[in-house]
Structure 1
Amino acid sequence: MATIVVKQIGSPIRRPAIQRETLKGLGLNKMNRTRELEDTPAVRGMVAKIPHLVAIIEEKA
């Protein structure tokens, strides 16, 4: 199972509610937190929606 490591690089303060909810859906809520998530189209889509708030720092096969 492939995974990606996602890091929160931006603050959700003064962002639209949908962007805050997307961060929560990824399991992120504080600056510089990282999560290892399954590499699925749904997760990739969530990351693509908020590229200014998160970064993919590692991709594991």
Structure 2
Amino acid sequence: MATFKVTQIKSEIGGKHMHRETLRSLGLKRIGHSVVKEDRPEFRGMVRTVAHLVTVEEVD
């Protein structure tokens, strides 16, 4: 199954509560932190919610 790497590039400070919770659900803890997730609809939705705070790269 395909995977993608999500990296937090902006701070969650001053953001909405749900955006902070979404970052935590993805496993992101600080700026520059990256996690690798499976390419599933649940994770795509979470990434779309916080797209202004993260970057996404496809990983093989």
Please confirm whether the aligned pair reaches a TM-score higher than 0.5, indicating the same fold.
yes
Structure 2 Cα separation of the partners of residues 10 and 52 of structure 1: 8
Correspondence 1:16-35 to 2 at 5 A: 16-35=16-35
TM-score by length of 2: 0.93
- Structure 1: stretches of 5+ with no match in the other structure: none
TM-score by length of 1: 0.91
Identity %: 45
In the alignment, is residue 45 of structure 1 matched against residue 45 of structure 2?
yes
Letter in 2 for 1:2: A
- Structure 2: stretches of 5+ with no match in the other structure: none
Q: Please tell me the root mean square deviation across aligned C-alpha atoms, in Å.
A: 0.9
Structure 1 Cα separation of the partners of residues 20 and 43 of structure 2: 15
State the 4+ residue runs in structure 1 displaced beyond 6 angstroms. none
Shift of 1:29: 1.4
Equivalenced residue count is 60
Structure 1 Cα separation of the partners of residues 5 and 59 of structure 2: 8
- Cα deviation digits, residues 4-59 of structure 1 (max 9, x gap): 00000110101111000000000001001000101101101100011111110x21
